[in-house]
Structure 1
Amino acid sequence: MTVKANGFLQGCLPEELKKVLRSVASELGDVIDDMDSIQVVPLKGAMTNEVYQINWPLNDKRDLFRKVLVRIYGEGVDLFFNRDDEVQTFECISKHGQGPRLLGRFSDGRVEEFIHARTLSAADLRDPDVSALIASKLREFHNLEMPGPKNVLLWNRIRNWLKEARSLCILKDAKEFRLDALEEEICVLEEELTRDDQAIGFCHNDLQYGNIMMDEETRSITIIDYEYASYNPVAYDIANHFCEMAANYHTETPHILDYGAYPGMFCALCRGPT
């Protein structure tokens, strides 16, 4: 068994997770006779959670395996988003058929359908053909009917993050990052960018390449990880995705954007999906 370095899966699976996996297996028509037969493979790339591919042998075919994904919730992320809201969003999107199915839940995480697709790279976002596929899928996402109020959350979320930053920063750092000036800048941006005719939709709000998967055979796109998803101006979600085209999180300086990679005027998302 491959195990998690920090001890969550060190040596054996937690009893609660074992129970959930047995239940999931049963619903899928499988039986897990021996927990030692389960393979646990850490997956790279997640930023706010830890994710693992869980495999168990099929009942009558020991050389074939069922695959599911186990997501362990990260610690301290409640500063950035509400986990209960994220779980509700995941469940609803799953029911809409727009993401992996929710297979089971436990106190520290959940079990999801394993998507047989590859995660995109930074370079993929700038491929015109891939960009067109993302544009089409993003339009479907923006048109999702999600429960709850459809109010724009962008500005309150930024202000809440600024409040947290002020509480965590020492005076020297607060001055260096000009935190006192940011409140005024937020107000200016909100006034300048809020329009009555603005299209409001359900936005992902974190559409970087690690949150987009593509099936190589069918070329179908799946958008994953909805921690920051909420109703917002559709234009904001597209603009944020443009900024992500300038990012590469697999470098030694992931926080520095390369604006030379920013999309040109003929980007597929600018043209809109066909």
Structure 2
Amino acid sequence: MAIKTMELLKGCGSQEEIMEVLSAVASDLGDVIDDVNTLQVIPLNGALTNEVFQINWPTKNDGEVRKVLIRLYGEGVEVFFDREEEIRTFECISKHGQGPRLLGRFTSGRVEEFIHARTLSAADLRDPEVSALIASKMREFHNLHMPGAKKAQIWHRVRKWLGQAKSLCSPKDAKKFGLDNLDEEINILEKKLSEGYQEIVFCHNDLQYGNIMMDEETRLITIIDYEYAGYNPIAYDLANHFCEMVADYHSDTPHVLDYKKYPGLEERQRFIRNYLSSEGNKPSNAKVNQLVKAAEKYTLANHLFWGLWGLISSYVNKIDFDYKEYGRQRFQQYWIRKPTLLDSPSIVSLDETVNGLLSSFT
């Protein structure tokens, strides 16, 4: 559904600046925007960090329409990543021939190339053929040669976010989420999950269906949105993708996670086999099962990561999404799954703190 441009731009920084950038982009593409009222603005739902819009305008050729994408940065999301670093990542990935091109920047966001493909749905992730294409594309993404130290970033990030959560949260939320106990939990988790050799690659770290696009004719997959991208173990990116299969961000309750939809063992094995064989080598069953097991353990780190993200977002982001409830569900899964996935007890017993944390989810 289209809305008027001026209504879109209210509260989104300088309207004049955004129109100036759009006019420059149009000129670079051989077009002219004579009148702001010729712009068609279409909100694209499902984005949880930023607000995203499709912008259309008529070209000089009668009947043809130019399309670009505007990304308006979410309020307060700079606590999660360095925006300038994210822009550099975006440009570097684009130079590798991946994802959309950066067309222009303004204070509160940017203009990107519009990808002429459809965004996947939650159901698409369960389609064996589409899933195989995603697995192959993930491997291709992991093979990108990107700048930065090739070491796991997850632990630094989750500790940084824990500090942010502690500084933002009310005492009630800090207690409910058990924040005082998480420092040592993270230490134990890092020690357990870092044992043995791990292949560190450039990961997307947020491979939910809304960040995957597919050309219906060519079946080519494009991965978009790199705010959380960085070096991590392969198993972590796999774990993140599997965890995202329980979400449907386009439902009436987009924050609700249905863990009955978590992929079963055979589905996870199939995805990882497709991932490993995408370059023509047939992996052994032992190799597949080793990575399946590692990915399952890394779901714990993933739950803490996005649990903290949800909690912090509830304080800083104004997008209409129940971030706190989302965060509570991720923490709930951490505490439920940890006894099964790790061969060590929690550093806290199921005392009043943890019982209180779990009971808040029921």
Give 3-state SS (helix, strand or coil) of 1:150's partner: coil
Query: Using the alignment, how far apart are the partners of 2:126 and 2:147 within structure 1?
Result: 33
Q: C-alpha displacement at 1:256, in angstroms?
A: 4.2
Output one character per residue of 1:140-181: Cα deviation in whole Å (capped at 9) or x when no partner.
111111122222110011111111111122223222211122
**What code does the residue aligned with 1:60 have?**
N
Query: Using the alignment, how far apart are the partners of 2:254 and 2:45 within structure 1?
Result: 16
> What are the within-5 Å matches in structure 2 for residues 6-45 of structure 1?
8-9=9-10, 14-45=15-46
Out of 257, 270, 273, the position equivalent to 2:272 is: 270
> What are the within-5 Å matches in structure 2 for residues 1-274 of structure 1?
2-3=3-4, 8-9=9-10, 14-61=15-62, 63-251=63-251, 253-267=253-267, 268-273=270-275, 274=278
Output one character per residue of 1:61-112: Cα deviation in whole Å (capped at 9) or x when no partner.
1x21111111111111112222111111111111111101111111111111
Give 3-state SS (helix, strand or coil) of 1:272's partner: helix
**What code does the residue aligned with 2:125 have?**
L
Q: C-alpha displacement at 1:204, in angstroms?
A: 0.8
Give 3-state SS (helix, strand or coil) of 1:266's partner: helix
Task: Identify if the C-alpha distance between structure 1 residues 225 and 171 changes in structure 2 by more than 3 Å, giving closer, same or farther.
Answer: same
**What code does the residue aligned with 1:29 have?**
G
Give 3-state SS (helix, strand or coil) of 1:54's partner: strand
Query: Using the alignment, how far apart are the partners of 1:7 and 1:32 within structure 2?
Result: 17
CA contact (8 A) 1:238 1:269 kept: no
Query: Using the alignment, how far apart are the partners of 1:59 and 1:256 within structure 2?
Result: 46
**What code does the residue aligned with 2:137 have?**
K
**What code does the residue aligned with 1:8 have?**
L
Segment of structure 1 superposing worse, 91-100 or 172-181? 172-181
Task: Identify if the C-alpha distance between structure 1 residues 259 and 41 changes in structure 2 by more than 3 Å, giving closer, same or farther.
Answer: closer
Segment of structure 1 superposing worse, 42-51 or 243-252? 243-252
CA contact (8 A) 1:56 1:66 kept: yes
**What code does the residue aligned with 1:112 have?**
E
Q: C-alpha displacement at 1:44, in angstroms?
A: 1.6
CA contact (8 A) 2:45 2:250 kept: no
Instruction: Give ranges in structure 2 of 5+ residues lacking alignment.
Output: 279-362
Give 3-state SS (helix, strand or coil) of 1:87's partner: helix
Segment of structure 1 superposing worse, 34-43 or 122-131? 34-43
Q: CA RMSD in A?
A: 2.0
Give 3-state SS (helix, strand or coil) of 2:213's partner: strand
CA contact (8 A) 1:4 1:42 kept: no
CA contact (8 A) 1:3 1:9 kept: no
**What code does the residue aligned with 2:56 have?**
N
Query: Using the alignment, how far apart are the partners of 2:225 and 2:112 within structure 1?
Result: 11
Task: Identify if the C-alpha distance between structure 1 residues 6 and 175 changes in structure 2 by more than 3 Å, giving closer, same or farther.
Answer: farther
Give 3-state SS (helix, strand or coil) of 2:18's partner: helix
Query: Using the alignment, how far apart are the partners of 1:59 and 1:178 within structure 2?
Result: 59
Task: Identify if the C-alpha distance between structure 1 residues 271 and 104 changes in structure 2 by more than 3 Å, giving closer, same or farther.
Answer: same
Instruction: Give ranges in structure 1 of 5+ residues lacking alignment.
Output: none
Query: Normalized against structure 2, the TM-score is what?
Result: 0.70
Q: Name the count of aligned residue pairs.
A: 271
Give 3-state SS (helix, strand or coil) of 1:188's partner: helix
**What code does the residue aligned with 2:108 have?**
D
Query: Normalized against structure 1, the TM-score is what?
Result: 0.91
Output one character per residue of 1:222-248: Cα deviation in whole Å (capped at 9) or x when no partner.
111111111111110001110111222
Q: C-alpha displacement at 1:29, in angstroms?
A: 2.0
Query: Using the alignment, how far apart are the partners of 1:121 and 1:156 within structure 2?
Result: 32
**What code does the residue aligned with 1:147 have?**
P
Q: C-alpha displacement at 1:193, in angstroms?
A: 0.8
**What code does the residue aligned with 1:187 have?**
N
Task: Identify if the C-alpha distance between structure 1 residues 5 and 157 changes in structure 2 by more than 3 Å, giving closer, same or farther.
Answer: farther
Q: Which has the higher helix share?
A: 2
Query: Using the alignment, how far apart are the partners of 2:255 and 2:216 within structure 1?
Result: 29
